[in-house]
Homo-oligomer: A and B are copies of this chain.
Amino acid sequence: MGTYNFSAGPGVLPNEVITKIKNDLAAEENSNYSILEISHRSPRFENIIKHAEAQLRDLMAIPDDYAVLFIQGGGSLQFEMLPLNFANQTGQVAVLDSGNFANKAAKAANAVGKKGVIVASSREEKYRYLPELPHDFQSSDYDYLHITTNNTIEGSTYHQSNLPKTNGHLVADMSSNILAEPYDVTKFSAIFAGAQKNLGPAGVTVAIVKKDWLAEQKIENVGPMMRYQTYVDKDSMYNTPPVFSIYALGLVLDWVKDQGGVDQMYVNNQKKAAKLYDYLDQSDFYQVPVQGTDRSITNVVFTTGDADLDKKISQDADVAGLHHLAGHRSVGGFRASLYNAQPMAAVDTLIDFLKKAAKEN
């Protein structure tokens, strides 16, 4: 039986990508010239970063009036950069509080001296469903509306079909479902995603920003590293970028394209998730708190309803080679992350294990 990595991130990457990295390093051994040692000003790296951008543009159909930027600091730094760059007229950011990371984004807006306003929340009900925009929501009261498309911890998703409708600017944290399902980029004024779930190893964050929105901002007392315009002006190389992370991200994008692109990923991910949800739903032993179209296809969250039993079964799973199945420490239960690189065999093995656990416990 294989070993499977259900980590929510950093998570599983395609074997083909790991092999390619290993082979590249081997080929370059003793040359003083591996991918880990090249200047970011070298033609080789310039090709790598341009290729990564071109592949992402192609995979997501990103129009030319959006910039594609590579930044360090993860989603958490984006929670600070976004209000610093874009909350300049009303100074207010509307947040749909659909999970832990949306909540953090609202707090980060406050921390940088703007106002993060939670306009709807399912926090009191443990984020079991997606909050909707209130009927009296006035987009003009806010500089933008921040959403988390996929709630990694809670296992829920604003899919393209149930995105909130706003007349204002929509900003999306797609960290845990970028390239896992299709989104229409033109519905958003900014999108960002930490790489370490569906794009590559940790260490780089992608930001997709509408250029004309950025151009109209008047920003004060924000340093160059915290301004998106710096990354636009300098092709993400104002200072040394995370060379290896961008190289690995490019390889993952190549892999996604080779597999058939986002549409094919979506087909695969739906199949994987449906198989697991179908098993869980017919089981008397396990429950899924999130219902219907709110459910995530990248992070499947479930529980036996008994915290101690959940913990024991997660530990048994670990021994059986099914790793990182425990839910986030803030919610407990189980979480099976089914990112693009997760094979159907992982789901089959997991279901077999869960059946056995249901009988034995």
| Residue positions of A touching B, CB distance < 8 A | 2-5, 7-13, 15, 18-19, 21-22, 25-26, 28-34, 36-40, 42, 72-77, 79-80, 108, 111-113, 194, 196, 200-204, 220-226, 238-245, 248, 323-324, 346
Contact = CB atoms under 8 A, between A and B. Distances in A.
A203 B37 contact: no
A253 to B, nearest CB: 15
Given A10-B40, A37-B201, A42-B324, 10 more contacts: A7-B39, A18-B36, A22-B25, A22-B29, A76-B239, A80-B223, A80-B225, A112-B221, A201-B243, A202-B242
Q: How many subunits of this chain does the assembly comprise? A: 2
B73 A225 contact: yes
A28 B37 contact: no
A3 B245 CA distance: 25
Contact of A30 (B15, B26, B226, B241): B15
Given A25-B18, A29-B18, A223 B108 contact: yes
Q: Is the interface of A mostly helix, strand, loop or mixed?
A: loop
A32 B5 contact: yes
A83 B72 CA distance: 20
Nearest to A75: B239
A44 to B, nearest CB: 11
B7 A223 contact: no
Contacts of A12: 32, 37
Contacts of A26: 22, 26
Contacts of A241: 202
A301 to B, nearest CB: 17
Nearest to A201: B36
Contacts of A346: 32
Per CB-CB distance, the 9 closest pairs between chain A and chain B, nearest first, are: A113-B221, A203-B242, A80-B223, A72-B72, A76-B239, A22-B25, A36-B201, A5-B32, A111-B223
Contacts of A4: 32
